[in-house]
Amino acid sequence: MRRSDLSDDDLDKLLLAAATARWQKVAMVISKAVGTYETLDEERLTRRILALTDLGTLESAGDVNNWRFSEVRIKR
């Protein structure tokens, strides 16, 4: 399966596996989760990060639309 064919649930699992209890840049979490060589829609990745924060699974600081200037962590 190509990463571009991932379901939202599978993508969420990858993102959560890359996140930690410490604050990390959104760009770092996404890079660790899907790799820089993969082509996934940036809008979809942002939507999944926002969905995980809405669910209370992740906490965010800053505007997650701006990956390099926002951070996320696993909610404690």
Which whole-number Å values give the CA distances from 62 to 4, 33, 36, 37, in the listed order? 27, 20, 22, 26
**Dist CA 22 CA 11 (whole Å):** 20
Residue span of the structural domain in which 69 resides: 3-74
- CATH code of 21's domain: 1.10.10
Q: How many domains does the chain have?
A: 1
Is the per-residue pLDDT at 42 higher than 80? yes
Q: What global pTM score does this model have?
A: 0.89
Classify 59 as helix, strand or coil: strand
Which amino acid type is present at position 36? T
**Dist CA 72 CA 48 (whole Å):** 12
Of 72 and 34, the one with more pLDDT: 72
**Dist CA 19 CA 11 (whole Å):** 12
Q: pLDDT tens for residues 48-62?
A: 999 999 999 999 999
